[in-house]
Amino acid sequence: MRHFIDINNFKKKEIDEIISLAKKIKKYPKKYSSSCNDKTLGLIFEKQSLRTRLSFNVGMQKLGGSVLELQSKDIGLDNKREKAEDVLNVLSQYIDCVMIRNNNHKQIVNLSKENILPIINGLTEYSHPCQILGDFLTLQEHLKNIKNAKIAWIGDYNNVLRSLIHLQNIYNFKLNLIIPKEIFKNYKKEFQQYKNENLNHYFDPILGTKNSNCIMTDVWVSMGEKNKNKKKYFKNYTVNKKIISNATDNVIFMHCLPAKRGQEVTSEVLDGKNSAVLMQAKNRMYIQQAILIYVLKK
């Protein structure tokens, strides 16, 4: 059984296949309009979502499949009424795969190990693999040679970054992390596991973003995080015009959204000519479609 939990569970060849399928679906959508006929996708959101909800929902319908949104509490996935595995066994009698967004990465890993129903990680506190594959598609559309790309991530050490690091470990593009010392110290050990000659950490935003082809950021405080106090550490880490002009001329600015304007990015950059954020949102759909076809393949 195929699941989609984390990018580092995959070989380069498999990721290449998913990206290549997404590109084909984007180019020839009609060819794929019955790829998921008679299949039903369950969506479970324990946190808010606009892009992931819409891209899975509309994407699955465009593949000829149907979608059911389920509430964890209503169906009892919270282990209170019956065991989550028992819920999954029953779900598998009606539907073909399930996407889960929660604050409990361990739970979706454990559920996937049961091999009852294909499970897709729609964001957890640990990672956001669907986002990063969508972003990889956007990057490939903008940059001629991904191998020589120089990407700078500026801001928090979070779920989106973790998936980006997983991707970097497979494709070996240059990735600079520009993260304040007060935040980075908590992740130093984790970072060491992934460290390689093309993956580096900087404290200084100007030094770390110099000559980048792509600057990425995300909110300073993710959904479900308790430590709202940490915002104070990011004072000099706002992506503004100065940081953009320090990069290459045609640098693209990326953000998974939702954005907090004036915090991690200025409106001038978010709405400016270098911004790829709406293309990122659009590309989410083609990637979700490719992931759905991938996990539903027998």
Which of 6, 46, 218, 264 touches ligand NVA (CB under 6 A)? Answer: 218
Does position 5 bind ligand CP by CB under 6 A?
no
Is 256 among the catalytic positions? yes
Q: Which residues contact 34 (CB under 8 A, 6 or more apart)?
A: 63, 64
Label residue 291 left, alpha or beta by phi (over 0 means left) and psi (-120 to 50 means alpha).
Answer: alpha
Is 261 among the catalytic positions? no
Are the C-beta atoms of 108 and 124 separated by less than 8 Å? Answer: yes
What is the rounded CA–CA span in Å between residue 116 and residue 83?
14
What is the rounded CA–CA span in Å between residue 39 and residue 99?
14
Does position 50 bind ligand CP by CB under 6 A?
yes
Does position 256 bind ligand NVA by CB under 6 A?
yes
Q: Quick one: the chain helix, strand, coil %, rounded to 5?
A: 45, 15, 40
What is the rounded CA–CA span in Å between residue 104 and residue 224?
11
Catalytic residue among 36, 97, 130, 256: 256
Catalytic residue among 162, 168, 284, 288: 284
Is 71 among the catalytic positions? no
Q: From the CB of residue 77, how many other CB atoms can be counted at a distance below 10 Å?
A: 24
Instruction: Name the minimum Å distance from CB 28 to ligand NVA.
Output: 29
Closest by CA to 287, choosing from 122, 142, 159, is: 122
Instruction: Name the minimum Å distance from CB 57 to ligand NVA.
Output: 16
Is 218 among the catalytic positions? yes
With contacts defined by CB under 6 A, name the span among 23-31, 188-196, 199-207, 253-261 that binds ligand CP: 253-261
With contacts defined by CB under 6 A, name the span among 62-70, 102-110, 184-192, 250-258 that binds ligand CP: 250-258
Does position 123 bind ligand CP by CB under 6 A?
yes
What is the rounded CA–CA span in Å between residue 21 and residue 32?
10
What is the rounded CA–CA span in Å between residue 216 and residue 6?
20
Does position 238 bind ligand NVA by CB under 6 A?
no
Residue 166 Cα distances to 28, 239, 279, angstroms: 29, 23, 22
Is 131 among the catalytic positions? yes
Which of 223, 231, 263, 279 touches ligand NVA (CB under 6 A)? Answer: 223
Residue 22 or 116 with smaller CB distance to ligand CP: 22
Which of 57, 102, 112, 159 touches ligand NVA (CB under 6 A)? Answer: 159
Catalytic residue among 101, 105, 166, 255: 101
The option from ligand CP, ligand NVA, none interacting with 50 (CB < 5 to 8 A, set by class) reads ligand CP
φ, ψ of residue 2 to 5 degrees: the values are -100, 135
Instruction: Name the minimum Å distance from CB 242 to ligand CP.
Output: 26
Is 284 among the catalytic positions? yes
Q: Which residue has the tokens 């940081």?
A: 243
Are the C-beta atoms of 64 and 34 separated by less than 8 Å? Answer: yes
Does position 158 bind ligand NVA by CB under 6 A?
yes
Instruction: Name the minimum Å distance from CB 182 to ligand CP.
Output: 26
Residues annotated catalytic, as ranges: 101, 128, 131, 218, 256, 284
Name the residues that contact ligand NVA, by CB under 6 A.
123, 158-160, 218-219, 222-223, 256
Name the residues that contact ligand CP, by CB under 6 A.
49-53, 123, 131, 256-258
